[in-house]
Amino acid sequence: MNRRDFNQLMAAVGAGILFNNETASAQTPPSSSDGLVFAMLVHPKMILLDLVGPMTVFNMTMGKVHLVWKDKTPVPTEVGVSITPTTTFADCPRKVDVFFIPGGLAGSTALMEDPETLAFVKDMAANARYVTAVCTGSLVLGAAGVLQGKRATTLWNVRDILPTFGAIPVHDRVVEDGNIITGGGTTAGLDFGLDIVARLRGEDVAKRIQLIIEYDPHPPFDAGSPEKAGPEITNAFLKARKSVMDDAKTAALRAAERLKI
């Protein structure tokens, strides 16, 4: 089912399933437009699931989702599936309900040294109702100067980079500080998306979306954190990823120098 067909289906049943009269009147706060507006940055080498998890949840609000990049050329992800932007930096609306950045360490490292993207992120952050990221997308917020003095999280193996930007690292799946909301590594994007929808449309709506997508995880292994995976698996991963982690730290230090942190 494509997005248009899905939206038509949801429009037909949405009043009864997601937006009943009681929920709409009692729990829906004022929005930046007639419907919710989401601007989701897409970038080369991003993690596809970082984008698709939250996007699936946001899409079910019947809001407008903009996929934003410098131009409309398809953007390759880490799995080789390309995402076609729907708008550009120049044309993207600034006053959105949610501005979002997905992660992908190599892609995020490149963005931390990309003046055009950082200027766009800073501009969006100044106008968006919620400024958000998942995984290493938080590093891009940091490099744009958005996280100074803010509590935030990111992928576990680069969480120690956050203080470089003046941020306060927190070991949680979803972290809120004012209108800044960040999520941990990739799969935290679903928790993050539901949390944001609860803020925008109420907890009952978020719960209905969780039910519709059957988000009831029962992983086959209990190894989703360094503490649970144990030192052997964790250290092997850190050794394999050392070069890209070092690149990210170097880019973060250069960004902090530009920001005079």
Report the distance separating Cα 206 and Cα 193, nearest Å: 9
Among 135, 155, 161, 252, which one carries the catalytic annotation? 135
In degrees rounded to 5, what are phi and psi of residue 66? Answer: -100, 130
Q: Which residue has the tokens 């990309």?
A: 114
DSSP H/E element including 253: helix 242-259
Number of Cα atoms under 13 Å in the Cβ half of residue 230: 4
Report the distance separating Cα 77 and Cα 80, nearest Å: 5
Could you count the other beta carbons within 10 Å of the beta carbon of residue 177? 15
Q: Tokens in use for 219?
A: 């992983």
Q: Which residue has the tokens 């927190």?
A: 170
135 is catalytic: yes
* Catalytic sites, residue numbers: 135
